[in-house]
């Protein structure tokens, strides 16, 4: 077995060891529940699976805010084929785990494909894939399901683009064209626009790099066409998300919102001392969530760039890639600084970007770029071990700079020799493991560069341990739980009809979790909070939305008096009519009411109004009206009537047409490309 194959086997085993803890809940009947997983993602997917099983519309749910454009909210990927498959075929527990797990092998396989297309041997490609798939960003953000899922598309997108840019055979160019469009369409269908933006940035930068390298600028045109088709394929998600965003509180927020969770420069300490801060990261203006402010992703990402630039003269075939990756990492690090980086005007005044928060998340593109540099470092160390390259001369003093900074930080700051930061900096004992990893990785790189036997294998193993200690340890802090255990503290909802409750502000039952017990919420937790006339946390809203109970953090229910009935009839003066209104169908996006009105009046409901609602009276179209400035109703004539409301928003219809058009354009583009003549298209 060659050294490359032997090292590849070790890296593959390390990657599997990193993946298995993520898969443990799947086989134990549990789910991860940290943060948004329990508060948002699991309840929303519970509603999604319920609707699929019952044949109901997945566009609207009455279970959040007394009605929510569920598809428009955009973080469920309701029409992504993979989600449709798993949530139809498996239990909620299995499907939820499969959705979370799928991102990591997808990111790993995509990165292997990308690096192999850049002519890396198997072991360096696997090493870069391990670094990206199990990066600090992807592990710390495991609870942001759709964000990690979109990020996982990044390396495959670049690999497909490279295939399209350099391929000359028509049939293969057509396949590459389809791959770019389909990967982009998949990203849009998953529904996390911020992550799609990151991938688009990387795609644009990579296309410029490859076209400049090959001097084939015309080759970028098919990529642009594939991108446009990818956007069209995703229209079924894009247009509803734009519609929901336009009617949400997100657009009422100040421009400063886009700068929340900017990366404070103090966090640069993490690059050489990952456990330097007591809470993992430093946020002067924002709550110091570790998953947002933790930017470390293995000591190798700090050491490898120094090593490859020391070796730049003997790596002529990688010099352009090194420069491109380094420049792209530097740009995105400045963007991650947000308000502290001097480019905040870009983040607050450019369309779309001004509604996206947390500039620190640009760190994902930094980690991706540095993983490429780390693959170059392993490639060179492997060449030295196989005597295809000469070892570096001298003692490599620059290589030891991060280790020296790490030790100095530990001694001077974590030991509190310098009298400041006592409430921010961690103890020596807490910070020491990070120092050990930085020093150990530096030593192993130096030894591998001297052809010390086993050093490069040890480097791969220590790097995997470094990633696990940072990311998997964080995930393990919140133990997986069985789904019923999440709401065992609360009584089940009565079976005779829907029960409307207001959720607690904090504690284990916060967010949307009560829907798992059969309740409908008049409050809720989503990314795109609907813009309403009555504040969502006000008493007026609770009463008009039909709140029957208020639940506290312990699960105890307190009845609410004076709330509006689910359906009622009022005359023109606003007085309740003596006739009857009976709900005969109360399904998501489909409401049927029979009324017996002695005189003309208005039918009023506790369902929240949205322009996507349509109404028919005895089968004839009518006009829905806004009741109490936030709720759904319609004017009804005297007599016995059947009133049917359906949620059929134009944004969804137009989006579906756009996606269908994208599929036709994709087919046409593939057929055209297959008929091209072979040759250089530069």
pTM of the predicted model as reported, rounded to 2 decimal places: 0.95
Mean pLDDT check: name the lowest of 24-33, 148-157, 397-406, 502-511.
Answer: 502-511
Q: How far is CA 504 from CA 544, 556, 558, in A?
A: 18, 10, 11
Q: What are the tens digits of pLDDT across the range 256-305?
A: 888 899 999 999 999 999 999 999 999 888 888 999 999 999 999 999 99
Q: What are the tens digits of pLDDT across the range 537-583?
A: 999 999 999 999 999 988 899 999 999 999 999 887 778 886 688 99
Tell me which residue has tokens 């948004």.
Answer: 36
Q: Is 133 helix (H, G, I), strand (E, B) or coil?
A: helix
pLDDT (0 to 100) of residue 419:
81
Mean pLDDT check: name the lowest of 98-102, 210-214, 316-320, 477-481.
Answer: 210-214
pLDDT (0 to 100) of residue 678:
57
Is the separation of the CB atoms in 202 and 335 below 8 Å? Answer: no
Above 60 in pLDDT, residue 681?
no
Mean pLDDT check: name the lowest of 79-83, 110-114, 479-483, 555-559.
Answer: 555-559
Q: What are the tens digits of pLDDT across the range 446-455?
A: 999 999 999 9
Mean pLDDT check: name the lowest of 58-62, 70-74, 211-215, 371-375.
Answer: 211-215
Percent of the chain topping pLDDT 70:
98
Strand partners, 590: 587, 646
pLDDT band at 353 (very low <50, low <70, confident <90, very high): low
pLDDT (0 to 100) of residue 235:
98
Is the separation of the CB atoms in 139 and 471 below 8 Å? Answer: yes
- Nearest alpha carbon to residue 508 among 556, 559, 555: 555
- The Cβ of residue 671 has, within 10 Å, a number of other Cβ atoms equal to 10
Q: What are the tens digits of pLDDT across the range 197-229?
A: 999 999 999 999 999 988 888 889 999 999 999
Phi, psi of 591 (to 5 degrees): -125, 130
pLDDT (0 to 100) of residue 1:
59
**pLDDT average, residue stretch 103-118:** 98
- The Cβ of residue 83 has, within 10 Å, a number of other Cβ atoms equal to 25
pLDDT (0 to 100) of residue 659:
98
For the chain, list the domains and their CATH numbers: 104-247+649-682 (no CATH), 252-478 (no CATH), 491-559 (no CATH), 567-648 (2.60.40)
**pLDDT average, residue stretch 69-81:** 95
What one-character DSSP code corresponds to residue 609?
A: P
- The Cβ of residue 367 has, within 10 Å, a number of other Cβ atoms equal to 23
pLDDT band at 254 (very low <50, low <70, confident <90, very high): confident
Q: What are the tens digits of pLDDT across the range 651-678?
A: 999 999 999 999 999 999 999 999 876 5
- The Cβ of residue 355 has, within 10 Å, a number of other Cβ atoms equal to 18
Above 60 in pLDDT, residue 680?
no
Q: How far is CA 398 from CA 20, 391, 394, 508, in A?
A: 37, 16, 11, 49
pLDDT (0 to 100) of residue 518:
93
Backbone dihedral region for residue 546 (phi beyond 0: left; psi -120 to 50: alpha; all else: beta):
left
Rounded Cα gap, residues 603 and 62, in angstroms? 18
Could you tell me which residues come within 8 angstroms of residue 162 by beta carbon, excluding any fewer than 6 positions away?
114, 117, 118, 206, 210
């Amino acid at each position: 077995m060659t050294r490359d194959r032997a090292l590849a086997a070790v890296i593959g085993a390390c990657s599997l060891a990193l993946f298995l803890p993520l898969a443990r809940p799947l086989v134990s009947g549990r789910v991860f529940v940290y943060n948004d997983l329990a508060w948002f993602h699991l309840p929303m997917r519970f509603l999604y699976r319920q609707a699929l099983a019952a044949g109901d519309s997945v566009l609207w749910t009455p279970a959040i805010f007394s009605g929510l454009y569920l598809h428009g909210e955009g973080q469920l990927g309701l029409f992504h084929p993979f989600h449709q498959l798993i949530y139809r075929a498996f239990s909620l527990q299995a499907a939820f785990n499969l959705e979370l797990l799928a991102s990591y092998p997808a990111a790993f396989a995509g990165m292997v494909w990308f690096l192999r297309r850049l002519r890396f041997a198997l072991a360096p490609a696997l090493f870069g894939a391990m670094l990206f798939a199990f990066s600090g960003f992807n592990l710390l953000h495991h609870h942001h399901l759709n964000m990690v899922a979109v990020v996982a598309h990044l390396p495959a997108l670049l690999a497909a683009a490279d295939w399209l840019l350099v391929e000359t055979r028509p049939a293969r160019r057509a396949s590459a064209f389809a791959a770019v469009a389909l990967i982009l369409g998949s990203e849009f269908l998953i529904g996390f626009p911020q992550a799609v933006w990151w991938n688009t940035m990387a795609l644009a930068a990579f296309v410029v790099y490859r076209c400049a390298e090959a001097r084939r600028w015309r080759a970028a045109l098919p990529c642009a066409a594939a991108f446009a088709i990818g956007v069209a394929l995703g229209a079924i998600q894009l247009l509803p998300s734009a519609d929901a965003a336009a009617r949400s509180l997100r657009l009422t927020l100040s421009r400063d919102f886009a700068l929340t969770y900017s990366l404070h420069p103090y966090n640069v300490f993490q690059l050489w001392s990952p456990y330097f801060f007591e809470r993992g990261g430093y946020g002067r203006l924002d709550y110091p969530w570790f998953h947002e402010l933790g930017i470390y992703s293995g000591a190798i990402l700090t050491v490898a760039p120094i090593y490859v630039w020391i070796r730049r003269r003997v790596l002529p075939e990688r010099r352009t890639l090194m420069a491109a990756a380094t420049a792209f990492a530097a740009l995105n690090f400045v963007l991650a600084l947000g308000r502290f980086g001097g480019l905040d005007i870009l983040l607050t005044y450019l369309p779309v970007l001004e509604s996206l928060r947390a500039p620190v998340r640009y760190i994902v593109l930094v980690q991706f770029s540095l993983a490429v540099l780390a693959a170059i470092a392993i490639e060179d160390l492997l060449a030295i071990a196989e005597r295809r390259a000469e070892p570096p001369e001298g003692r490599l003093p620059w290589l030891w700079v991060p280790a020296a900074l790490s030790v100095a930080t530990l001694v001077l700051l974590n030991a509190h020799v310098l009298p400041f930061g006592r409430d921010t900096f961690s103890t020596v004992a807490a910070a020491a493991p990070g120092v050990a990893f930085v020093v150990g990785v530096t030593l192993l790189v130096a030894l591998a560069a001297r052809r010390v036997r086993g050093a490069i294998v040890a480097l791969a193993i220590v790097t995997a341990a470094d990633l696990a200690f940072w990311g998997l340890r964080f995930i393990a802090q919140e133990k997986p739980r069985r789904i019923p255990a999440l709401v065992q503290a609360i009584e089940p909802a009565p079976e005779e009809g829907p029960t409307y409750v207001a959720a607690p502000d904090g504690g284990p039952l916060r967010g949307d979790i009560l829907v798992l017990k059969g309740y409908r919420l008049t409050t809720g937790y989503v990314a795109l909070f609907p813009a309403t006339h009555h504040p969502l946390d006000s008493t007026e809203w609770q009463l008009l939305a039909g709140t029957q109970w208020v639940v506290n953090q312990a699960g105890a229910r307190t009845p609410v008096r004076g709330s509006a009935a689910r359906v009622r009839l009022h005359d023109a003066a606003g007085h309740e009519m003596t006739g009857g209104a009976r709900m005969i169908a109360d399904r998501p996006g489909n409401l049927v009411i029979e009324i017996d009105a002695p005189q003309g009046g208005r039918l009023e409901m506790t369902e929240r109004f949205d322009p996507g609602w349509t109404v028919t009276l005895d089968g004839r179209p009518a006009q829905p009206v806004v009741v109490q400035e936030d709720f759904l109703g319609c004017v009804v004539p005297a007599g016995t009537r059947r009133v049917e409301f359906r949620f059929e928003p134009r944004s969804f219809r137009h989006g579906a047409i756009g996606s269908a058009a994208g599929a036709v354009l994709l087919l046409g583009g593939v057929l055209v490309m297959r008929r091209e003549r072979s040759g250089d298209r530069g």
